[in-house]
Amino acid sequence: MITAYRGATVTRFKITLPAQRQPAQQSVTRPTPQGHIQIAPGIFVPDVPAGGSNAASDDDIICMKAMDEFENTDSFTTNVNGKRVSSANTTSAARAKKAHMSLVQSPGFVEISSSANRKIVWYYAKNVYNTMIYTEFLRSLEPELNKILKTRVQQGAIKFNLKLEATYNRVNVPNSSENRAFKTTATEIYPDSDIDSIVEQAFVKLLAEEDAYVSRGSGFTLEAIDGLLLGIYNYTPMTGSSYIELPAYIDRKRGTINPQNNDQQCFKWAILARHVVDNLSDKYKYCVGKNYTQHEAKYNFDDISFPTPLSDISKFEKNNPNVTVNVYGLDKKFQPPRKYPTYEVYPLRVVDEEKTNHFDLLLVTDGDNSHYVYISNFSRLVRAQKTRHTGSVVFCKRCFTSFDDRRHKFKLSGQEALDQHKLICGAHKPILPEMPKEGDCAEFKAWKNTVRHPFVIYADFEAILTKTEEARGGSTTITQKHEAMSYGFLVKASDDVPAELLLQHQIPAGPVIYRGSEDRTDVARHFVEAIVEVAQKIENLMKTNIPLKMAEGEEKTHQECIKCNLCKCILVGGDKVRDHDHLTGKFRQTLCSRCNLELQQPKFVPVFFHNLTNYDSHFIITELGYDTKTINVIPNSEEKYISFSKYISSTFTVRFIDTFRFMASSLSSLAENLLTPEHEKFRETAKHFVTGDMPLVTRKGVYPYEYTDSWEWLEDTRLPSKRSFYSTLTETGIKESEFDHAKEVCIHFARI
């Protein structure tokens, strides 16, 4: 039985979180992840203010150690003695959680400890009301958390962490409780920061981490939410000169202006560098002086932090409505036999649409120090890494696709091609394409997966929607309960399967329809038993092995073949094998012995449902355990399954698969895609209906789901009224054309 909820609902939003301060990095380098596409938000993007650094104070070092302790020793999982173990479930972590939970007996945040001079303060909010919904627990703490952070930040910049602690267990497994913790990284807060938004993003991070844990299918379910740990640390941004000299490889391209500032305002000087490039000689355009300051009034730099983190650039754009800013980073490359490294430019921040006053900046790092550089010629800076064309080239600044000025007969070139490309590329994340290395190639070897399955089953359920007004908590009401009412399935055999075998093993040739009643409500159980019975017959049929029968021409073809028909290897000596269909005895092809061994009959029969994951699986999954045979599940979460299988013997299974995962459209849309004037693509439908019926049965009909709220309505022999097709879930009815079609079907088949 499935429960449909209506009322106040909680939605988890996944948003891109601002990257936080990273550990010290080598000069303008980053590790290159494997794969062909690097997504910009996933690349090392330090949201550390662009500026310099000098020696940190002892207090800063204490705070940094505390943050490392919080983030690293209490991470999601770690490797202990070769095993994946949740560090939140270690003895020391469990003891620490028990200790700070014992210190708190009242709702809200309670200070549980602090360091000398209160450079570090720890708070804990215990789940005293035993709330079982993460979002409700976090929302109840949000006002107080915002108040604490706003109070502390008035004394100076701070960083904070959150750690959401909980207990999980395995259902019906004694003593299986384990501690779990979900945390955020240390986040900077300044007196002018939007704390409400920062806290909201921190909650999103916690919920996303919890959702990722549940989706891994660990088998654990939530037993209790224990509480929320808050750590607040004093934060002193590093100071010193922010100027960083560019690598010679980049500087020689003469596509950048690197202002030589001696303060923390390199972002400002990089913006103003545009106005000094054309007015001064090369000797002075890099020196920050009156030549720069005279242009300050052209832009509004209010509310911008200096040093400037990436997150503050949006403030600058808001202050200056006609301005947009892109930011790029450098990737250090060592490509032997070159003696010196090269660098590639990659996107860190790219706007969706460039405005009239657009800037491209380069952000380089050296340890804890970061520095903005003005890009005066983007094409000159990046062209060497993308093209060898010597003429004029323009680039997409989002994906780095290049367009040269060579004229083409059937496609655009240059700026026209770029403008057309932006219409497609603009909606996607910035990327840095990475091509395969020279000599790398992919080879297909899974030849056993190319065997066409001789049998598939298509199935569907319909349900009665029983009305109810059952309260579930303070803001949720159950309005309907879905109870399986009927099912239908069709066994589709390959055309190569002999009809006499189907008859011999009693494989159903037409649709199988079953409808329950008030006296027969176990529809889902009946379905599982029926499918298992059919699968057992299919297994027995597939054990058939008719000896090979070759015609004279086929034998000649086999003897003349010198290559395997699959892997294309040269056939030598006794490696040549005749592959044949075991169900018919017909010769199929000439293979090598290795490929022939791989081509085995499938050990399962697939059962396809459309939207199995979200709906039909809930009817089936609880009925699969009616006997002692093994059940395998590939979960998407605790309540949703990608696929699941039931063994009917030691070597054969029934595998339930959701067609929506590879045909993500409604059945109505899919049917429309197949429509042709002669309906020749509906071959299976044509076996059961005459030509005059085909226009009526080759489109999805309408069904009054909420009208059928009891078994007695199934005995109604008349078409319900149009208002009976109204859905409270979507708050819509059916179209007049759909109702007219339903009436036409009823009249045609004498149902009205």
**Structure token pair of residue 737:** 């054309």
Token pair belonging to 197: 């938004």
pLDDT tens sequence across 498-553: 999 999 999 998 899 999 988 888 999 999 999 999 999 999 999 999 999 888 89
Per residue in 14-36, pLDDT (tens digit) is: 333 333 333 333 333 333 333 33
Judged against a pLDDT cut of 80, whether residue 629 lies above it is answered with: yes
Give 87 or 265, the one with higher predicted confidence.
265
Q: At what angle do helices 134-153 and 195-215 cross, to 10 degrees?
A: 150
Q: Which of 539, 655, 662, 663 is nearest to 606 (CA)?
A: 655
Question: What letter does residue 416 receive in the DSSP assignment?
Answer: H
Pairwise CA distance, residues 372 & 328, whole Å: 10
With b for 16 or more beta-carbon neighbours within 10 A and e for fewer, the 687-722 pattern comes to eeeeeeeeeebbeeebebbbbbbebeeeeeeebeeb
Amino acid 448: pLDDT: 81
In this structure, the dihedral spanned by the alpha carbons of residues 381, 36, 634 and 17, taken in order and rounded to 10 degrees, is -10
pLDDT at residue 692 in the model: 87
Averaged pLDDT, 91-114 = 79
Residue 655 binned pLDDT confidence (cut-offs 50, 70, 90): very high
Q: Mean pLDDT, the chain, as a whole number?
A: 79
pLDDT of residue 525: 94
User: Which is more confidently placed, 156 or 743?
Assistant: 743
Asked whether the predicted pLDDT for residue 52 surpasses 60, the reply is: no
Label the pairing between strands 187-189 and 158-170: antiparallel
Confidence of residue 591 (pLDDT cuts 50, 70, 90): very high
Specify whether the CB–CB gap between 271 and 359 falls below 8 A. yes
Q: What is the mean pLDDT of residues 181-189?
A: 87
pLDDT of residue 190: 80
Summarize the chain as % helix, strand, coil (round to 5): 30, 25, 40
Taking every pair of Cα atoms in the chain, the longest distance, rounded to a whole number of angstroms, is: 96
Rounded to an integer, what distance in angstroms lies between the CA atom of residue 45 and that of residue 40? Answer: 8
- Tell me the average pLDDT across 103-119: 83
Res 85: pLDDT? 46
Q: What is the pLDDT of residues 411-429, one digit of tens each?
A: 677 677 777 776 667 656 6
What pLDDT is attached to residue 408?
A: 67
Q: State the pLDDT at residue 215.
A: 61
Is residue 96 within 8 Å of residue 102, measured between CB atoms?
no
The tens digit of pLDDT for each residue in 324-336 reads 999 988 888 766 5
Q: Among residues of the chain, what percentage have pLDDT more than 70?
A: 80
Judge whether 235 and 161 are in contact, CB under 8 Å. Answer: no
Q: What is the pLDDT of residue 649?
A: 92
196-230 pLDDT tens trace = 889 988 998 888 888 777 766 566 788 889 999 99
Report the DSSP pairing between strands 323-333 and 357-366: parallel
Q: What are phi and psi of 453, to 5 degrees?
A: -70, 130
pLDDT at 84: 42
Taking residues 646-666, what's their average pLDDT? 91
Collapsing DSSP to helix, strand or coil, 106 comes out as coil
Is the model's pTM score more than 0.75?
no
**Is the bond preceding 337 in cis, omega lying within 30 degrees of 0?**
yes
